[in-house]
Chains A and B, each alone.
Chain A
């Protein structure tokens, strides 16, 4: 129904579309006090893309990410993941979609405090068919030595890396990260980003990272600028930089 400023934003890429969103709208509340979090978002995401989402606070980034991940539903518009219309799925089907295809990473790590690093990872590997061994996933993020520690015994950066390991351990097709480095210092943030880039490269995981840190945009294939519930512009990097080359 509604039409964003950018009519249809196609990203130059050879691979097929993983996500296809058309006219995504999200309205909270009704009447006078209604908040338009998304005002018609059209976007295509391709398999294996590494996408960074930039935009001012309150512009609707998290809302979009949550809808992509099947945590939330748009008020209007359609969203396809491959051949599945997510907007037509039941709660159960959305859960199954998350279970099979999606890994999430949040600003607050959302680890289960009563489980060790390894068990936190096992929480998702128990759910899918061909997961990584939890230990391998933890080694991937450089935590091979701390597997039996509980979250309370780990630093913030280490906790976030456990969250990354947990998100990638089931070899998801999609990795959605909402400010994964928001609570971390620069050096730790870089380690987390390196882990994400590794996964993106080795597993071909479609990755979306929300950030307020424009520097991070340097490691993306595409950078989507968001504003007031719409996609404002999209730029593609010709040369991706490695996370280790980034500092802030």
Chain B
């Protein structure tokens, strides 16, 4: 092997000499790369898995549910231009009972397709077998409910269908592309223990529900290039007379939409956070290399005098940056792969895919490498222009003492009472404003990043609290099978433990404003509600207007409406009325896209008279079991839902899913903070070793000398803190906007404590890194430092 060229030997020595800094920068780069690889790979793994799954199981593109249509209507659907395949079925939400469980459970009963091998939304059998066509009680059960309740082939449970309790035997466990994310109607998070999907042979289910020769649900696959909008319009036209609730595109299918929103968040993460890390690492490389060039001007002069070209000298320093970046890149790849794997495992719990393998695509590695190397070498390159400008002669002459002058603040008369060492700190900081500015920027950026990530915890808490303690304050939600006339109230009020009853009506509508439209549900509430409060952007409670609509901010933005504007309301059920309604106010509510109206006005709009389809109750928990039993026995009541459980489920989902992600980022932000602070203290130390040694010679104790070093960092940190807080606020707002989905919008809930904690982390990072550097003062070799003029 050839011995290393001398100049590379120097590079290796420089790197070893600065190994702390090299590692710090490499870790910052690694954080950027890891984030990128983690988010992009998880995203790719998930979306590839979904694509493959959809493809193999023929996931439909248009869905529609309706009251009841004769099977002959299916032929008319098939005739719609652009439709390739139509699958009809019978579907019904039911109450499930499991022996020994008093809690209310809900389920979705679906009819199996005739031929699963060619059907749309074909099932994947995980274990067991399909139900026997001739045996009435056999079902396939969705894996999520089966796993949560410990069910397998052979298990039994009951379902109340059409008022009759049916005992069902599980013959197999299955997955469906329609239910990758399994979420019950009206739920905001999956509750696998209390909501399950199961399939029966169509003949049997139809018999139970009196749907022989009829269907109430259809899925359509379109020809390549067909417009789903045109098909949807045609479907609505064909099925209008059968009480269709409006056909909708895949985009609005709940499982698909949730996956989309999750994918959107992953890609937001990949687009916001890594760039910040990369900018910081470019900063760090710039500062380290320009400092290196300054201290090595002699050597650079020598190299040039020996005949090394400008390019060769610059290349020498860029090689330093490249080596650091490659180190960071490799660490980042490994960490990113590991984190990505963890995230994917996390998703495995919520998303039911037949196969979900975490894979890292080579192009993601290449992209991350290209981005990381370009950015960090960019920083290095800017720094090396300094070295290229040095002429051999200039580089060889010793630098005269740096010129200082009283700082601006001294000139205007401030700082008069500073100690002499205090002046040393202030003047040094102001003498090198660019370098000080970079340190301040670096610290401020890491503080900002920390605030922006930690605040997720505040914001999610605010989101959950405002939903459960303001928008939905009930203890229990009762849903009816069919809308019921208002006297149902009396029946409910007599149930055990019921303290307050508020009737509700929910109606699916399509809101249209100009070219924009959205399918949503209007929630009808009676005035004077205590179990549901709406607030405006100013945080004040809003009274329900007699006729107009209250819209959430995101929906208003989506439709482009402001208070006072009119929207077209197309009711998607019953008589399918079309009318106009005025938007009275825009409200702040963060879960879903809520639209509120007075129940009476809503009933007028649908033309249904005084009816309700659910009741929100305040109850006495002591009578809960009795209430459950009563509800089970009461015909016409479909399901009962406990808000307490919904709250817990939501919290758990956020804790496990979001919080894991957030802690990754908090960790990364701390790495940056440490990298910046350590780097700044190292540079300060090497810049000032001579001065500090001089002070030691003059009789200053180590502690007093260390104070100068620490003082400078403390001053820079102090300047950086308020800037970081402002940056944090900005980044947080940006992230919140990027993280917003139709399912939930995370309000900016920055708590003052978050600023405090984040600042503490930054201060700690600065303290730790200056402590590391202060240790070097302990071992400062006075004689050697004073001998050299370095």
Contacts and interface: CB of A to CB of B under 8 A. Distances in A.
B428 A104 contact: no
Contact of B401 (A100, A102, A123, A152): A152
Given A71-B783, A110-B697, A150 B403 contact: yes
A126 B699 contact: no
Interface residues of B, number: 29
Interface in A38-62: none
B782 A71 contact: yes
Interface in B153-179: none
Given A112-B424, A114-B428, A104 B697 contact: yes
Contacts of A69: 697
A152 B402 contact: yes
Nearest to B430: A114
Interface string B411-424: 00000000111011
A115 B700 CA distance: 16
A46 B224 CA distance: 106
Contacts of B577: none
B404 A127 contact: no
A242 interface: no
Nearest to B696: A95
A99 B424 contact: no
Contacts of A115: 404, 420, 423-424, 427
Contacts of B400: 152
Given A106-B786, A152-B404, A122 B697 contact: no
B696 A112 contact: no
B420 A119 contact: yes
A9 interface: no
B715 to A, nearest CB: 14
B404 A114 contact: yes
B385 to A, nearest CB: 25
A106, A110, A150 — most chain B CB neighbours (10 Å) = A110
B740 interface: no
- For A110, A112, A126, the residue with the greatest tally of chain B CB atoms inside 10 Å of its CB is A112
B420 A95 contact: no
A147 interface: no
A122 B420 contact: yes
B702 interface: yes
Interface in B731-790: 782-783, 786, 789
Contacts of A166: 698
The 10 closest A-B CB pairs, nearest first, are A99-B699, A113-B401, A152-B403, A114-B427, A98-B699, A114-B404, A151-B401, A152-B401, A110-B694, A113-B402
B183 interface: no
Contact of B691 (A104, A106, A112): A112
Nearest to A148: B406
Contacts of B401: 111, 113, 150-152, 159
B495 interface: no
Contacts of A232: none
A102 B403 contact: no
B701 A123 contact: no
A203 to B, nearest CB: 17
Interface of B: 400-405, 419-421, 423-424, 427-428, 431, 690-691, 694-702, 782-783, 786, 789
A15 B234 CA distance: 119
Contact of B702 (A95, A106, A151): A95
Interface in A101-144: 102, 104, 106, 108, 110-115, 119, 122-124, 126-127
A66 interface: yes
Contact of B700 (A102, A113, A122, A127): A127
Contact of B783 (A66, A92, A124): A66
A72 interface: yes
Contacts of B691: 112-114
Contact of B786 (A110, A112, A152, A153): A110
B423 to A, nearest CB: 6
B700 A95 contact: yes
B112 to A, nearest CB: 83
A123 B420 contact: yes
A166 to B, nearest CB: 8
Contact of A100 (B427, B428, B699, B789): B699
Central interface residue in A91, A108, A114, A153, by most chain B CB within 10 Å: A114
Interface string A68-97: 010110000000000000000001100110
B698 A123 contact: yes
Contacts of A113: 401-404, 691
A113 B428 CA distance: 9
A155 to B, nearest CB: 11
B431 A127 contact: no
Given A95-B701, A104-B698, A114-B431, A126 B419 contact: yes
